[in-house]
Amino acid sequence: MHLTGRLTVAVAAATLTGPLLSVPTSRAAAAPDVTCFSGNRTATQDGYHLSANLCDGQGLTVLIQFGSAAGTYRCRTAFVWNGFLGADGCRQQ
């Protein structure tokens, strides 16, 4: 293959590869608003009550990394104060 043919193939490959690299491979989950190191959950009539520590962030989507309540939750109310979380009406996602 001559240099012109190789250049054409390289340009075509780059043109096709560029857009493919920018497309996400799957629908990504939303990033949590609050991330906590560990926590516990208590079942209530309105979902779970979460209590967790070593938390950072503010919002209603909570990620607990370790402990009996490990997982991601969507909560009706959530409050972080000095690294501690109290949240109510939480449902695990």
pLDDT of residue 31: 87
| Euclidean distance between CA atoms 78 and 75, whole angstroms | 6
Higher pLDDT, 27 or 82: 82
Q: Which tens digit of pLDDT belongs to each residue from 2-26?
A: 655 554 555 555 554 455 445 444 4
Joined together, the tokens standing for residue 19 give 């857009």
Closest by alpha carbon to 61, among 36, 24, 28?
36
pLDDT of residue 6: 56
Are the CB atoms for 85 and 61 separated by under 8 Å? no
| Lookup result for tokens 């501690």 | 84
pLDDT of residue 4: 57
Domain boundaries, the chain: 34-92
Which run of H or E residues covers position 88? strand 84-92
| Euclidean distance between CA atoms 11 and 45, whole angstroms | 61
Q: Which tens digit of pLDDT belongs to each residue from 45-91?
A: 999 999 999 999 999 999 999 999 999 999 999 999 999 999 999 99
pLDDT of residue 16: 45
Residue type at position 8: T
